């Protein structure tokens, strides 16, 4: 009798399971007896805790944790991870508490189980927020112990295998989440076996029709091309034998999801994708890998630009291999991967290599450290935003790395496809990104939004007083860059809103013969507390963002007896607009106010003050809320440009648009946008969005345009 069978005799008859027998036999092959006994104890505990519970499929619930443990045992995970897998639902689905698990199985197992558990006992505004917050908690637990995600990935894999019992709507939701989050995480951790299965199961559940069509096409192609596959494999083996190289040649089955992704990425029909043959050659050493590359290139002609050396420059998840695509028989493409046995094991198990191969080598530790570095990078993202924003950042960071670039010192930086110079700057350091003003690619100055390509050397130029541009958010692709820019802009908006709020409050207080600086701080703090705000700055921010009205707050700051000082303070009059208030003062796109225009300010909740022209047609709607209007004026000598729209009626002739644009440029005016609004016979109407300094500058532009013979009429747009 083997060890597993002997300890099963200790279990109550009603709780014995064929699944656990196979699990214990599997564990016995690589764990010492004492650790296997620990797993048996966990099974007994879990079976008792889940007694009477069933899955949607009708099978006893304990079968699920045992199946999860099986998946991890195939990866040769350690005993605490297997124990945590068996117990991973007891906190969530049974009365069992975390301290009870810690007391019986140790603190490490309790932390693992808690890290995987969902946050069912917390009230959230939405299901999306609950999912995002649960995921954030899991990531925090992963930083402390990477084994949390191993249990979660195995849990998700078994849930996907049994997804047929779930209602269709929920099935699609789980499948989408699997493809967007869990399969990319498995890929990032290098666990190819789990990643591939999650992708196939997710694809099948989310798009069953597309899955069936591609599956049918692949089977048909496999049957038609079977003789070619055998011939190519035989040719490769003969070439290796002739060169005296020992290695094995394996045919690679193309995964349906990878075929589907390639079709979408290349916008290519199915027929152009399924005829790609895949082979893997596994040898004994790195030197032999490069020898074999020469052998296969001499056997079949390589396709230009289709060779990738992931041995010299590994992927971010630690994957190593040589990839090449060849012209096979009749010109059909043949994909070949060349790697060592060690690389092949790591390619399949990734981070799990740390637990599989404890032979004194640093290989497994390297993959663990790389994964921990990535998780730490995620945790360094500013977390001031919502859980959904954090989830979005994680999704962005999970896209497969495709671009490898170099720093001026020759260090390799791995970035997502379409990453820009700004993404590169933030990948080096947040301060570098925040202060970057220009970039050089291969010693040539380029715009900061320039996408990077493999092999380029990127140098970032910084300036001490430089700050992030809000427009960067529109083109950066890395989560770190996007999160850092958003964090800066939120901080900037806060400080600007506080300053504007003080100015608005001072203006309102002046009408009551008061000044903010002469009001005791305790009274301001008390007014903030009455409005459920923690600090005076928070009160000023709410006023600046238009969420609290300054006149009403000013009345709360009156002395307790309601009197005002005998010495009146000169009323402040209008709020002076300098054009440098940043994001808390904006200019209405309906009427495009510019300096010297008569203007009014409207307090818009969340946006601060929106400036309109007094002649704006939208004022009729806003007049119904007089308490939200404030008197504003322009400060003299403003040093910035303002947008304005001009309508130009012209006669139709070739080159008229170029002539108009040239005339505008001659007045040192920038054209932001141009559109053809109407075209009727011999005349057309052009709408120009221009940047001018003030009304005088605009008048000069219009005067110049009216002198042109092609111009019939020039008017400034007004809502």
Instruction: For residue 276, count other CB atoms closer than 10 A to its CB.
Output: 17
The answer to whether 46 and 87 are in contact (CB under 8 A) is: yes
Dist CA 663 CA 657 (whole Å):
10
Answer yes or no: are the C-beta atoms of 716 and 644 closer than 8 Å: yes
- Beta bridge pairs of residue 326: 302, 334
Kindly report the number of other CB atoms within 10 A of residue 19's CB atom: 19
Catalytic residues, which ones?
92-93
- Residues whose CB falls within 8 Å of the CB of residue 303, separated by 6 or more in sequence, listed in order: 325, 326, 327, 333
Residue 395, number of CB atoms within 10 A of its CB? 13
> Rounded to whole angstroms, how far apart are CA atoms 120 and 534?
30
Helix (H, G, I), strand (E, B) or coil at 145: coil
- Asked whether 527 and 587 are in contact (CB, 8 A), the reply is no
Q: Which letter does DSSP use for residue 439 in this model? A: E
**For the purposes of burial, counting CB atoms within 10 Å of the CB of 99, is it exposed (0-12), middle (13-18) or buried (19 or more)?**
exposed
Reading the block at residue 198, the tokens are 């999650």
Q: Which residues contact 223 (CB under 8 A, 6 or more apart)?
A: none
Residues 6 or more apart in contact with residue 136 via CB below 8 angstroms? 387, 390, 391
Q: Bridge partners of 577?
A: 634
The helix or strand, by DSSP H or E, that contains position 676, with its residue range, turns out to be strand 670-680
Angle at 73 between CA 72 and CA 75, to 5 degrees: 65
Which positions ≥6 away from 245 have C-beta within 8 Å? 283, 288, 291, 292, 295
Alpha-carbon dihedral angle through residues 28, 32, 34, 39, given to the nearest 10 degrees = -40
The beta strands (E) that lie in 542-641 are given as 575-577, 585-587, 599-604, 608-613, 629-634
531 CA to centre of own chain: 36
Q: 3-class secondary structure for 105-125?
A: HCHHHHHHHHHHCCCCCCCCC
Residues forming a β-bridge with 608? 604
Distance in angstroms (rounded) separating the CA atoms of residues 50 and 69: 16
**H helix and E strand count, the chain:** 30, 20
Rounded Cα–Cα distance for residues 586 and 454 (Å):
41
Q: How far apart are CA 588 and CA 558, in angstroms?
A: 34
- Residues 603 and 622 sit within 8 Å (Cβ to Cβ): no
Q: Please, what is the end-to-end C-alpha distance for the chain in angstroms?
A: 89
């Amino acid at each position: 009798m083997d060890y597993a069978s002997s300890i099963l005799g200790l279990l109550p008859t009603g709780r014995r399971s064929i699944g656990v027998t196979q699990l214990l036999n599997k564990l016995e092959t690589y764990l010492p007896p004492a650790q296997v006994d620990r797993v048996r104890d966990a099974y007994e505990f879990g079976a008792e805790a889940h007694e009477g519970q069933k899955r949607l499929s009708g099978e006893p619930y304990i079968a699920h944790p045992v199946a999860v443990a099986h998946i991890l045992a195939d990866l040769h995970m350690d005993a605490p991870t297997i124990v945590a897998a068996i117990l991973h639902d007891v906190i969530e689905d049974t009365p069992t508490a975390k301290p009870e698990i810690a007391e019986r199985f140790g603190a490490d197992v309790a932390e693992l189980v808690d890290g995987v558990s969902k946050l069912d006992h917390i009230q959230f505004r939405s299901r999306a927020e609950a999912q995002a917050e649960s995921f954030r908690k899991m990531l925090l637990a992963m930083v402390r112990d990477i084994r949390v995600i191993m249990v979660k990935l195995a849990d998700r894999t078994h849930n996907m295998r049994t997804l047929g019992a779930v209602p269709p709507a929920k099935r699609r939701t789980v499948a989408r989440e699997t493809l967007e989050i869990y399969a990319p995480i498995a890929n990032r951790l290098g666990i190819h076996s789990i990643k591939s299965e999650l992708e196939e199961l997710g694809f099948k559940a989310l798009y069953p029709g597309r899955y069936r069509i591609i599956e049918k096409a692949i089977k048909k192609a496999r049957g038609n091309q079977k003789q070619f596959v055998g011939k190519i494999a035989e040719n490769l083996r003969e070439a290796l034998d002739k060169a005296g190289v020992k290695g094995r040649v394996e045919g690679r089955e193309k995964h349906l999801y990878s075929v589907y992704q390639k079709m979408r990425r290349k916008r290519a029909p199915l027929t152009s994708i399924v005829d790609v043959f895949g082979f893997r050659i596994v040898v004994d050493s790195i030197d032999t890998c490069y020898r074999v590359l020469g052998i296969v290139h001499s056997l079949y002609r390589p396709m230009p630009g289709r060779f990738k050396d992931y041995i010299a420059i590994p992927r971010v998840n630690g994957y190593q291999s040589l990839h090449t695509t060849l012209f096979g028989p009749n010109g059909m493409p043949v994909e070949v991967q060349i790697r060592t046995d060690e690389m092949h094991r790591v390619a399949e198990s990734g981070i799990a290599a740390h637990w599989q191969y404890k032979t004194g080598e640093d290989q497994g530790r390297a993959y663990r450290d790389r994964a921990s570095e990535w998780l730490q990078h995620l945790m360094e993202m500013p977390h001031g935003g919502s859980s959904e924003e954090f989830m979005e950042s994680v999704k962005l960071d999970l896209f497969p790395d495709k671009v490898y670039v170099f720093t001026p010192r020759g260090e390799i930086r791995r970035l997502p496809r379409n990453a820009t110079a700004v993404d590169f700057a933030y990948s080096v350091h947040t301060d570098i990104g925040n202060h970057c003003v220009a970039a050089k690619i291969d010693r040539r100055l380029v715009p900061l939004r320039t996408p990077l390509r493999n092999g380029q050397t990127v140098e970032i130029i910084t300036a001490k007083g430089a700050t992030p541009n809000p427009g960067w958010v529109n083109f950066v692709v890395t989560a770190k860059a996007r999160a850092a820019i958003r964090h800066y802009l939120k901080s900037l908006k806060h400080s600007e809103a506080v300053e504007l709020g003080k100015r608005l409050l001072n203006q309102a207080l002046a009408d009551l013969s008061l000044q903010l600086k002469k009001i005791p701080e305790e009274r301001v703090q008390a007014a903030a507390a009455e409005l459920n705000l923690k600090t005076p700055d928070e009160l000023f921010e709410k006023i600046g963002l238009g969420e609290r009205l300054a006149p009403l707050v000013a009345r709360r700051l009156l002395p307790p007896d309601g009197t005002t000082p005998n010495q009146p303070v000169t009323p402040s009059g209008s709020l002076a607009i300098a054009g440098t208030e940043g994001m808390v003062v904006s200019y209405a796109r309906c009427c495009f106010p510019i300096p010297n225009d008569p203007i009014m300010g409207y307090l818009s909740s969340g946006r601060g003050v929106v400036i309109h022209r007094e002649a704006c047609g939208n004022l009729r709607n806003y007049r119904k809320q007089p308490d939200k209007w404030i008197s504003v004026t322009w400060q003299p000598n403003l040093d910035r440009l303002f947008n304005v729209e001009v309508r130009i009626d012209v006669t139709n002739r070739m080159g008229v648009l170029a002539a108009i644009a040239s005339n505008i440029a001659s007045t040192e005016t920038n054209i932001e946008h141009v559109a053809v609004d109407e075209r009727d016979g011999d005349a057309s109407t052009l709408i120009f969005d221009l940047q001018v300094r003030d009304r005088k500058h605009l008048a000069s532009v219009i005067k110049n345009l009216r002198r042109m013979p092609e111009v019939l009429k020039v008017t400034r747009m007004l809502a």
